[in-house]
């Protein structure tokens, strides 16, 4: 998809009068068109408006996240966490920012165990205060804005505030999520907001959110402190505690977003960068792509089937390590360097046969343990957006409240996450040792979110991409990065084509897509197949060698791509 005409959406936003003051561009700067790919047309339009007012990629990201909190409340928001990769075109630096939720100081090892010591049922653990981690998105956005922002913080919330007051139309997807989710009427005020007459809101209904408008106004005027230390923090803590959680004012005030070194590897002539731990996304995507590169180098007949098979086998190996070794590296030892070393990956790639599936892969450094707690759950929440600004800076951000509608606790117009359920419920691994992803006070749960940026040899961004999708995120993203960078597909075709995922078990093939044609061939190679619908939400931007930029929004969700004209010089 090339840039979707945004006229209609921008008119809606225009009526909101953004109050953005255009930044002055310097005569020696060379502005170029910018681009936004995000999960809702109003979020894309807000991002484009910010870029056209001279905003930096992070400025647009803040406006996008604020609008998504309102219009895609089931997926992400200020009550959740996020990971962000930032590319600075002036210094060519890539920075990774961690806004992942933390566990409250009072949690104990048996947090997700029942009285008889067995792990709680996952869906029982989601609703209520016990699943809520300290939200991290706003502190993270504030940190990145301090370092890279151009426009004033307070202006960036105006589109969302105005839309929250004026109202927006409930999308078909939001209406459908409300219709199929029977647990939503559990708590007020969420039940009243989404089920005003006892029935779920219908698509096309105009919905206002005055409480969120007020919240965002406080955050716009007072900064993220209003959320972490002011009355909003009081409201969050009171709500979580009233529903069985242990979150305190201290947990909120102590929250820190962290700048980390990204994980990067040179693969197929590109430098590809992703999030480090506590996301498994960057490491596992890089492992998969490296294994694929090594395994495919020795394969003469590179048919589509062989390519898919090698990708899926590489994915088995990546997931075997992910599930065994990864956790928050500030709390547990993770052999990151070994797992990404040339020697180790070459040894692991040798396990891949082009003619026969290996079946279940064992982790590479020890005996296998057991699967992660959320391996099979289908998730329809989380949101990814990609931004390239008119100065060439880039943001790749994946943001989440975890399950659709998070913990189902609504405070001051936004939903609180259930991210603590991304910890492994049983603190012990099958062999009795402590699992790296067990819950601990202050720790961040292991994530699969995989915002990525790949660079050309000249250190220009070549591809900015990411997706929602639970643990399948890793497969969704690895496949598209491989298709664009190693197979020469354009980003739109790569995103449109059917997903092929292997989380070290059955090979999952996206139903009703071109991927189904591969089933007989994969079966003949020994894959056990599961055909399933897969709701990725890939939003990508690519820069072609001639400098042209193209974006793509995942047709499986409701997003759009918007092009931004550079602000005129010296205005
Ligand atoms: N909570 C998940 C993670 O951080 C993301 C959930 C989703 O993509 O739906 O890995």
Which residue minimizes the CA distance to atom 7 of ligand 1? Answer: 470
Atom nearest to 449 CA in ligand 1: 10
What pLDDT was estimated at residue 395? Answer: 98
Residues 327, 436: contact at Cβ < 8 Å? yes
The residue whose CB lies within 8 Å of the most ligand 1 atoms, and thus the one to mutate among 84, 279, 323, 400, is 400
Residues 541, 491: contact at Cβ < 8 Å? yes
Phi, psi of 296 (to 5 degrees): -80, -20
Residues 47, 64: contact at Cβ < 8 Å? yes
The model's confidence at residue 380, banded by pLDDT at 50, 70 and 90, is confident
Residue for token pair 């961004």: 461
The answer for residues whose C-beta is within 8 angstroms of residue 93's C-beta and 6 or more apart is 87
The answer for residues whose C-beta is within 8 angstroms of residue 185's C-beta and 6 or more apart is 191, 195, 198
Q: 300: buried, middle or exposed (CB in 10 Å: 19+, 13-18, 0-12)?
A: exposed
Give 133 Cα–ligand 1 centroid separation in angstroms. Answer: 14
What DSSP string runs through 516-570?
A: GGGHHHHHHTT--EEEE------EEEEE-TTS-EEEEE-TTSS-EEEEEPPPPTT
Q: Is the pLDDT of residue 412 over 70?
A: yes
- What's the DSSP call for residue 107? -
Residues 516, 531: contact at Cβ < 8 Å? yes
- For residues 443-469, average pLDDT: 97
Give 538 Cα–ligand 1 centroid separation in angstroms. Answer: 13
Atom nearest to 448 CA in ligand 1: 10
The CA-atom distances, in angstroms, between 213 and each of 207, 216, 447 are 12, 5, 30
Structure tokens at 517: 């044609």
pTM of the model: 0.95
Atom nearest to 381 CA in ligand 1: 9
- For residues 239-245, average pLDDT: 98
What pLDDT was estimated at residue 181? Answer: 80
Give 126 Cα–ligand 1 centroid separation in angstroms. Answer: 13
Which residues have C-beta atoms less than 6 Å from ligand 1? Answer: 379, 381-382, 400, 402, 419, 422, 447-449, 468-470, 473
507 is catalytic: no
What pLDDT was estimated at residue 366? Answer: 77
Of residues 547 and 147, more confidently modeled: 147
- What's the DSSP call for residue 182? T
Give 399 Cα–ligand 1 centroid separation in angstroms. Answer: 8
Distance CA 278, CA 275 (A): 8
Structure tokens at 102: 């933390």
Residue for token pair 């609504």: 410
Beta bridge partners of 96: 85, 260
Give 83 Cα–ligand 1 centroid separation in angstroms. Answer: 11
Sheet holding 81-88, edge to edge: 258-260, 93-99, 81-88, 394-400, 383-388, 34-38, 560-564
Q: Is the pLDDT of residue 25 over 80?
A: no
The answer for residues whose C-beta is within 8 angstroms of residue 533's C-beta and 6 or more apart is 510, 511, 512
Q: Is the pLDDT of residue 28 over 90?
A: no
Phi, psi of 554 (to 5 degrees): -65, 120
Atom nearest to 422 CA in ligand 1: 1
Among 179-183, 279-283, 286-290, 383-387, the minimum mean pLDDT is found in 179-183
What DSSP string runs through 312-347?
A: HHHHHHHHHHHHHH-S-TTTS---HHHHT-HHHHHH
Atom nearest to 81 CA in ligand 1: 4
Among 8-22, 441-455, 479-493, the minimum mean pLDDT is found in 8-22
The model's confidence at residue 21, banded by pLDDT at 50, 70 and 90, is very low
Model confidence pLDDT, tens digit, residues 64-83: 999 999 999 999 999 999 99
Residue for token pair 């004209």: 565
Model confidence pLDDT, tens digit, residues 121-155: 999 999 999 999 999 999 999 999 999 999 999 99
What pLDDT was estimated at residue 371? Answer: 47
Structure tokens at 323: 């599930």
Q: Is 104 helix (H, G, I), strand (E, B) or coil?
A: coil
Which residue minimizes the CA distance to atom 4 of ligand 1? Answer: 447
- For residues 368-387, average pLDDT: 70
Question: What percent of the chain has a predicted confidence (pLDDT) above 90?
Answer: 86
Distance CA 194, CA 190 (A): 6
Largest CA distance in the chain: 70
The model's confidence at residue 489, banded by pLDDT at 50, 70 and 90, is very high
Beta strand 500-502 with 507-510 is antiparallel
C-alpha angle with apex 227: 226 to 231, nearest 5 degrees?
Answer: 70
Beta strand 529-532 with 507-510 is parallel
The answer for residues whose C-beta is within 8 angstroms of residue 350's C-beta and 6 or more apart is none
The residue whose CB lies within 8 Å of the most ligand 1 atoms, and thus the one to mutate among 447, 467, 534, is 447
Distance CA 520, CA 527 (A): 10
The active-site residue, picked from 4, 69, 239, 382, is 382
Count of residues for the chain?
Answer: 571
What pLDDT was estimated at residue 422? Answer: 97
């Amino acid at each position: 998809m090339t840039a979707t005409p945004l006229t209609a959406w921008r008119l809606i936003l225009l009526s909101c009068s953004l109050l953005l003051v255009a930044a002055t561009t310097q005569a020696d700067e060379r502005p170029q068109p910018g681009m936004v790919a995000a999960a809702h047309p109003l979020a894309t339009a807000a991002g484009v408006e910010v870029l056209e007012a001279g905003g930096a990629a992070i400025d647009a990201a803040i406006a996008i996240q604020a609008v998504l909190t309102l219009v895609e409340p089931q997926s992400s928001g200020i009550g959740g966490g996020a990971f962000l990769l930032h590319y600075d075109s002036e210094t060519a630096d890539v920075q990774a920012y961690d806004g992942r939720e933390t566990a409250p100081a009072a949690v104990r090892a048996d947090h997700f165990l029942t009285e008889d010591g067995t792990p709680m049922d996952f869906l029982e653990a989601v609703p209520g205060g016990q699943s809520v981690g300290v939200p991290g998105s706003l502190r993270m956005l504030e940190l990145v804005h301090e370092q890279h922002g151009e426009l004033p913080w307070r202006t960036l919330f105006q589109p969302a505030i105005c839309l929250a007051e004026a109202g927006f139309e409930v999308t078909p997807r939001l209406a459908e999520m409300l219709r199929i989710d029977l647990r939503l009427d559990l708590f007020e005020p969420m039940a009243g907001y989404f089920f005003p007459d006892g029935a779920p809101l219908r698509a096309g209904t105009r919905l206002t959110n005055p409480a969120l408008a007020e919240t965002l106004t406080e955050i716009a005027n007072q900064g993220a402190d209003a959320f972490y230390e002011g009355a909003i923090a009081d409201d969050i803590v009171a709500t979580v505690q009233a529903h069985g959680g242990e979150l305190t004012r201290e947990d909120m005030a102590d929250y820190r977003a962290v700048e980390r070194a990204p994980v990067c590897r040179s693969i197929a002539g590109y430098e590809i960068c992703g999030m480090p731990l506590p996301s498994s996304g960057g490491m596992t995507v890089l492992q998969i792509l490296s294994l694929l590169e090594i395994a495919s180098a020795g394969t003469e007949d590179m048919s589509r089937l062989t390519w898919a098979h090698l990708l899926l086998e590489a994915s088995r190996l990546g997931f075997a390590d992910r599930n065994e070794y990864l956790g928050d590296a500030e709390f547990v030892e993770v052999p990151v360097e070994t797992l990404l070393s040339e020697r180790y990956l070459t040894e692991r790639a040798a396990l891949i046969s082009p003619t026969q599936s290996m079946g279940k892969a064992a982790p590479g450094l020890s005996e296998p343990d057991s699967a992660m707690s959320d391996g099979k759950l289908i998730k329809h929440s989380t949101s990814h957006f990609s931004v390239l600004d008119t100065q060439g800076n880039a943001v790749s951000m994946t943001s989440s409240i975890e399950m659709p509608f998070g913990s189902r606790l609504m405070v001051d117009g936004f939903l609180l996450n259930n991210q603590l359920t991304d910890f492994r419920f049983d603190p012990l691994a099958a062999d009795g040792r402590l699992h790296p992803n067990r819950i601990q006070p202050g720790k961040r749960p292991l994530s699969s979110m995989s915002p990525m940026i790949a660079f050309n040899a000249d250190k220009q961004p070549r591809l900015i991409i990411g997706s929602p999708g639970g643990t399948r995120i890793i497969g969704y993203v690895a496949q598209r990065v491989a298709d664009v960078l190693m197979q020469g597909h354009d980003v739109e075709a790569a995103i449109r084509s059917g997903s092929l995922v292997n989380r070290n078990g059955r090979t999952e093939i996206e139903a009703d897509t071109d991927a189904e044609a591969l089933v007989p061939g994969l079966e003949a190679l020994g894959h056990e197949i599961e055909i399933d619908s897969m709701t990725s939400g890939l939003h990508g931007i690519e820069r072609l060698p001639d400098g042209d930029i193209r974006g793509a929004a995942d047709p499986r969700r409701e997003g759009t791509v918007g092009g931004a004209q550079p602000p005129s010089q010296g205005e």
